[in-house]
Amino acid sequence: MPIAPTETTALDLTRVRAQFPSLSQTVAGQPAVFLDGPGGTQVPQRVIDAISDYLKSSNANTCGAYATSQRTNAVIADARAAMADFFGSGPDEVVFGPNMTTLTFAISRSIGRELGPGDEILLTHLDHDANVSPWRALEERGVTIRFVDINEDDCTLNLADLEQKVCTRTRVVAVGYASNAVGTINDVKEIVRMAHKKGALAYIDAVHYAPHGPIDVRALDCDFLVCSSYKFFGPHMGILYGKREHLQRLQPYKVRANTNAVPNRWEWGTLNHECIAGITACVDYLADLGRQVEPSASTRRAALLAAYGAIQQYERGLAETLIGGLLTIPGLKFYGISDVAKMERRCPTVAVRVAGQSPLQLATKLGKRGFFTWDGNYYALNLSERLDVEKDGGFLRIGLAHYNTAEEVQRFLAALREIVG
């Protein structure tokens, strides 16, 4: 059945959803509702096709003197160009890896080679552990780790605390673009400015932000920014942007036979070529979405920006409906920004707890009715500890993506109300 357009969206939801085959699944006769995007989004058919087409027609290792190998080189170059459009960077500043965590360990170990006692790294209580543990690993070299606190009332980052803690001993400020637990979007541009003022590098985890908003690494002026394509409608891979000068100067741990050219010196062993083919397809999916809302978009980058403009506008409306409904549920505690006037400072990812039921109990009951939510800390361990919910099962997380509908949100709210009783 076609989905009626609302005044809050330029997106054609019927057309969007038709591209995602998995959205038509059912659970116990009920349509599945995917509210688990923060753990990984669904993929459009063109991503599935790109992966299987690669395996059918181009499957080979790189740099061989024959057709499939040459096609593989072209597939990787295409994906680098696609991600350069996505980041607003040069293609030689795009590094592929298995996931964000592995890429972050690669960069932290490499930066760590130059650090020792007296050096400091600034992390936050809001971040996913993948932007915490790789830096904490440098404590064994004598590096001091410091943490920026949050404002507990709305789970925003305490920027005054950050400004006070960043100093001339700080070598890296590692911070998330958006929280995968409570949805807060950080003022990354300002944080990068504060880091640079003291001579520190800024390392940005954009994994959670990437499906929800446009990234412009030049405008942010960040030194590194990392994301995972499986969170923005693509395959399970991680992608890193690094400023050219850093990718050239820093020394990676790598095998001797690997080239020393940038960016390949940061890519070790054979990459996941079929998923790299899928990355181009997911960027092109987003660009096509942008061209539908803004046919005059003349470049892929312009089309991506148009797509994200429409996604942001649509998701803010959905988030408002979701949060407004959640706040009326008796016994429910909401974590994060709930003020409708501040929706642009959050992603449509919310965390709640309900008195008398653990997050796992809630997620299980919802799951049986076809609502896919998440429970626990989702690796935002610093935050669940800071808010003292770690010992009680963490949070229940509801994450919206642009393929969700207002009708799904209403059905979810009705189901949760019933479950809560």
Ligand X SMILES: Cc1ncc(COP(=O)(O)O)c(C=O)c1O
Interface characters, 238-277, with ligand X (x: CB under 6 A): x---------------------------------------
**Sole binder of ligand X in the list 45, 69, 70, 99 (CB under 6 A):** 99
**Sole binder of ligand X in the list 42, 89, 101, 264 (CB under 6 A):** 101
In terms of Cα–Cα distance, which of 355, 398, 391, 356 is closest to 375? 398
- Total of residues contacting ligand X (CB under 6 A): 14
In terms of Cα–Cα distance, which of 413, 389, 378, 370 is closest to 40? 378
**Sole binder of ligand X in the list 134, 176, 242, 399 (CB under 6 A):** 176
In terms of Cα–Cα distance, which of 176, 175, 241, 173 is closest to 208? 176
SS3 for 296? coil
176 vs 242, beta carbon nearer ligand X: 176
**Sole binder of ligand X in the list 32, 76, 115, 130 (CB under 6 A):** 130
Q: Find the part of the chain contacting ligand X (CB under 6 A) among 43-51, 95-103, 329-337, 348-356.
A: 95-103
From the CB of 237, what's the least distance to ligand X, in Å? 8
Give the gyration radius of the chain's Cα atoms.
Answer: 21
CA distance 19 to 93: 31
128 binds ligand X (CB under 6 A): yes
**Sole binder of ligand X in the list 80, 208, 243, 300 (CB under 6 A):** 208
Cα distances from 299 to residues 75, 284, 303, 307, in angstroms, run: 20, 11, 6, 12
228 binds ligand X (CB under 6 A): yes
CA distance 223 to 238: 17
Q: Find the part of the chain contacting ligand X (CB under 6 A) among 205-213, 272-280, 352-360, 397-405.
A: 205-213
170 binds ligand X (CB under 6 A): no
SS3 for 374? strand
181 vs 413, beta carbon nearer ligand X: 181
CA distance 406 to 383: 29
CA distance 238 to 233: 13
80 binds ligand X (CB under 6 A): no
From the CB of 42, what's the least distance to ligand X, in Å? 15
Q: Find the part of the chain contacting ligand X (CB under 6 A) among 28-36, 98-106, 276-284, 291-299.
A: 98-106
346 binds ligand X (CB under 6 A): no
205 binds ligand X (CB under 6 A): yes
Q: Which residues contact 341 (CB under 8 A, 6 or more apart)?
A: none
Task: Please calculate the CA angle 159-160-163 and round it to the nearest 5 degrees.
Answer: 85
In terms of Cα–Cα distance, which of 201, 200, 204 is closest to 215? 204
207 binds ligand X (CB under 6 A): yes
CA distance 58 to 278: 13
CA distance 44 to 17: 9
100 binds ligand X (CB under 6 A): yes
100 vs 148, beta carbon nearer ligand X: 100
CA distance 224 to 60: 30
210 binds ligand X (CB under 6 A): no
**Sole binder of ligand X in the list 41, 156, 180, 280 (CB under 6 A):** 180
Binding site for ligand X (CB under 6 A): 38, 99-101, 128, 130-131, 176, 180, 205, 207-208, 228, 238
